[in-house]
Structure 1
Amino acid sequence: MRTLRFLPILLLGLAGCQDALESVSNKVEHPLPAKLVNKMKANDMSTRSPIMMRIFKEEGVLEVWKQKGNGRFDLIASYEICKWSGKLGPKFKEGDRQAPEGYYRIYPAQMNPKSSYYLSFNMGYPNSYDRAYGRTGSNLMVHGACSSAGCYSMTDEQVLEIYGFARDAFKGGQEYFLVEALPFRMTPENMARHRDSEHYEFWKMLKVGYDHFELTKRPPKVDVCDRRYVFNQIPEDENASFKATAACPPASVPTTLASAYASYEKTWNQNFLKAVSKFDHEEAKRLAAAEAKAKAEAEAETRRAEREAREAERLAAHGGQSPAVPVLGLFASGNPLKARTGGESAPQTQAPAQAATASGQATGGQTAVADQVAEAPAPSEVPVPEPNPQAAGLAAAAAPAAPAAQTKGDKPFWKIWSRN
């Protein structure tokens, strides 16, 4: 009966879930939420204007940037990455469960509306840079379902919006959009903190593209030549091409960008050196604290070992048994009893001795009386004195009175109590 009572509520809950699922049954064409559409309008963005995405592993963030009417890009949405696998650094080979780092182009053909992970798009790993180093891997994606084995995994609700941004941008005519997959925000502090990493030189290369975007708020033009990424390079020969394993063709960065980047780098490098000095100082303090702690622990261990050695010597001197430890005041002079008990107990032990003395005196007195009786003449030889009534009265008065019996009426009290 209890189950039947709650069955309508259960069915109602299931119906609510089904309604929610039916509302996104056409997930591929599901429109972006009204709040995002209104935000785009407020920021001079069209729903079909180009996009760019940035991923930061350490911060666990995926950003969607969208083009405004002036051609510059602005942040429109930021999502917390549900899961990504591996650690900071690029992906090297199939099966290493490492999420990739680098610059990846996403074309319409890489969108997967029938993904087993709700919705997804393939990042295009390995790209030409990865292949130049013989790196392997496949099916590296941004997808839903919040599970990762080398991918960047989002929740279904998040990937529904991310997919919608890409779909609308392609409908607006964007040929491909760029995904910058980076280890962290490439600030002076973060780069200083990770300057000892084996991937530091790789990250310095990625940082150039990151910096160009920070300066221009436009996705960088990314090419690969001489087995490295190059950004916003304009070849001197307009027919020249960039090949991943070939030497880079003669090219240069536009003058305005080059000038802005030189000033940006100067300030950045100054802040980087300050960050390095700060981290070195903190590291020195940390090392000093660790050294002091280790020294204190070593000294404590030495003292402990010395105590154990002394104890071992003392045991050896007493045949392997721990010697009795004298109590304070044990050897008070002139009193053997105080020597055994520490002195304070002596007064307590005198009472039995005094009692014994008194008892001895009493016993001695009784013995003396007995001796006198033994030495006295026989009764027949002793003259019988005449009665003296006055002396008998005085003896009776001197004798203690016998306790009166407890009575109730005419009967003893204990008889009455025992009967009741």
Structure 2
Amino acid sequence: MLAKLARTALLIAAIGVAGCNDSSMKDFAPHANKPLPDKILASMKAKGMTRTSPVMARIFKEEGKLEIWKAKTNGRYDLVASYDICKWSGKLGPKYTEGDRQAPEGFYTVRPAQMNPRSSYHLAFNIGYPNVYDRANGRTGSHLMVHGACSSSGCYSMTDAQIEQIYAFGRDAFQGGQTEFQIQAFPFRMTAANMARYRKDPNYEFWKMLKVGYDNFEITKVPPKVDVCEKRYVFNQVAPDGETFDPTGACPATTQPDSLKSAFNAYQSTYEAAFSGAVKASVPAPKPTIAGIKEASIVSEWSKKRARGERVPIEPPSLNADGSLTATARMGRIDSPAGRKMAALDAEKAAKQKAEEQRLAAIEAAKAEKQAAKAQALAEKETARINSLAEEEEARAAAEAPVATATIASTPDAAPAATQAANAGESRTTRLKKKLLGMFGG
């Protein structure tokens, strides 16, 4: 066993396999040889599986699940373990180009040389992106993994405990003689309800193509035979003797077992009825998806700038349905002289902007102070004028009071009236003063 793993390690080193650009060359990791838990082994035995029987995996992004299926003694596969994906990056939809941070979708193949027991992400295996389909469609990228450490920039990342078990499933199957195992990566479980939810998505035609492979497995419970022609996947098709599948050329005339064809047609009829019902039903809103190669190129450019150490938003930009971009305001780290220069320029710009804001604020404050002083002076002037008018009125009232008193005093009985007249005069003066002060804010 150790000798076989050592040979695998040499192959890994030769082709530069690494978990999400992992270039670790650590000593052999004991955790790569951990046995599966007794509980899982007992479940496998109960289902008619052996520890070294063939294996395959299915991934569902939206549900966040990675499933392990193993072959039973009758050749059909059954689910043996399911894991919550710790983290995957990007959105629903395929990977288009290097740096778009998309986790791949499609049908991939893992061979022993793709297993990495010395990954700096605990353990890892390369899923085989780009495959024949990806290359035929000009899609690029490298080092796309299933690995541990719960950290992803285009990979499917698990916890360390999870990857130890997932890695062990593949390791044991290779030990049993399986030369490669299939990974099926989907945006979601391809049910009628989910397909109806995403029927208007720009990736829908791609997903319809993947669904044919999904359906073939659902019907047969055997990993489908996968080929590519006319730049598209074809499943469980047999080419005539002497003919092959050309990924970019025309598909050959193919045949398929009648039993499979009949089962598929029956399955499809049931699906179409369910799909029609799902279109009319109330369903959860679709999750964000990548808007094709245009958004992939925008994110890829962001990744290049980030790799150069330039200051970029901490999260990649997102292309909206109306063609506009959404980017977070928070900026990422600075990792290079160019990035530090950009940061210095941004800081200088921010300082100038702050100084200008302070200057304008000072001008506004001075204007406000001047207006307040002017208003105060006007108020004091008006108060003085009102006081002067009041004093004049009081003087006139005082000058008229003796005449009234003398006239009234000649009649002894009129004394109370004189007092009332004097009080009335004072009352009028007071009221006039209050009225004037009220008119001018006094």
TM-score, with normalisation over the residues of structure 2?
0.57
Amino acid at match of 2:86: C
In 2, the alpha carbon distance for the partners of 1:255 and 1:65 equals: 26
Contact 1:193/1:279 (8 A) holds in 2: no
Show the counterpart of 1:159: 163
Counterpart of 1:314?
Answer: none
Q: Which of 263, 266, 269 is the equivalent residue of 1:263?
A: 266
Q: Which residue of 2 aligns with 1:243?
A: 246
Identify the residue that residue 342 of structure 1 maps to in structure 2: none
Counterpart residue number, 2:189: 185
Correspondence 1:26 to 2:30? yes
Answer whether contact 2:97 2:140 (CA < 8 A) is retained.
yes
Aligned to 1:78: 82
Return the match for 2:49 from 45, 48, 51: 45
Is the aligned partner of 1:233 residue 2:231?
no
Query: Do 2:29 and 2:117's aligned partners in 1 also have CA atoms closer than 8 Å?
Result: no
Q: Kindly indicate whether residue 213 of structure 2 is the aligned counterpart of residue 213 of structure 1.
A: no
Letter matched to residue 138 of structure 1: S
Matched, 1:106 2:110: yes
Of 196, 203, 206 in structure 2, the residue corresponding to residue 199 of structure 1 is 203
What SS does the corresponding residue of 2:167 show, helix, strand or coil?
helix
- CA shift for structure 1 position 180: 0.3
How big is the alpha-carbon RMSD for the aligned residues of Structure 1 and Structure 2?
2.0
Partner residue, 2:277: 274
Bigger relative contact order, structure 1 or 2 (CA pairs below 8 A, ≥6 apart) = 2
Provide the secondary structure at the position in 2 that maps to 1:157.
Answer: helix
The equivalences for 1:390-409 within 5 A come to: none
Bigger Rg, structure 1 or 2: 1
* In structure 2, C-alpha distance between the alignment counterparts of 1:110 and 1:252, rounded to whole Å: 33
Which of 89, 95, 98 is 2:93 aligned to?
89
The 5 Å alignment of 1:49-60 reads: 49-60=53-64
Alignment of structure 1 residues 280-319 onto 2, 5 Å? none
State the secondary structure of the residue aligned to 1:252. coil
Residue ranges of structure 1 left out of the alignment (5+ in a row): 1-23, 284-366, 369-420
- In structure 1, C-alpha distance between the alignment counterparts of 2:256 and 2:91, rounded to whole Å: 33
Measured after TM superposition, the shift of residue 236 of structure 1 is: 2.2
1:88-134 alpha-carbon deviations (Å, 9 max, x no partner): 10001111101000000111110011111000000111111111111
Task: Tell me the distance in 2 between the aligned counterparts of 1:236 and 1:132.
Answer: 22
SS in 1 for 2:142: coil
One-letter amino acid of the counterpart of residue 179, structure 1: I
Unaligned residue ranges in structure 2 (runs of 5+) = 1-27, 287-411, 414-442
In structure 1, C-alpha distance between the alignment counterparts of 2:249 and 2:51, rounded to whole Å: 40
What is the number of residues matched between the two proteins? 262
Once the two structures are superposed, residues 120-174 of structure 1 have per-residue CA deviations (whole angstroms, 9 ceiling, x without a partner) of 0001111111111111101000000000000000000000000000000001111
Identity of matched residues, %: 62
CA apart distance, 1:58: 0.2
Deviation readout 1:368-388 (Å, 9 max, x if unpaired): 9xxxxxxxxxxxxxxxxxxxx
- TM-score for both structures, normalised by structure 1: 0.60
Q: Distance in 1 between matches of 2:123 and 2:246?
A: 33
CA contact (8 A) 2:108 2:183 kept: yes
TM-aligned CA deviation for residue 25 of structure 1? 5.7
- Find the residue that maps to 2:166 and give its secondary structure: helix
Instruction: Give the counterpart of 2:180 among 169, 176, 182.
Output: 176
Name the amino acid aligned to 1:42. Answer: A
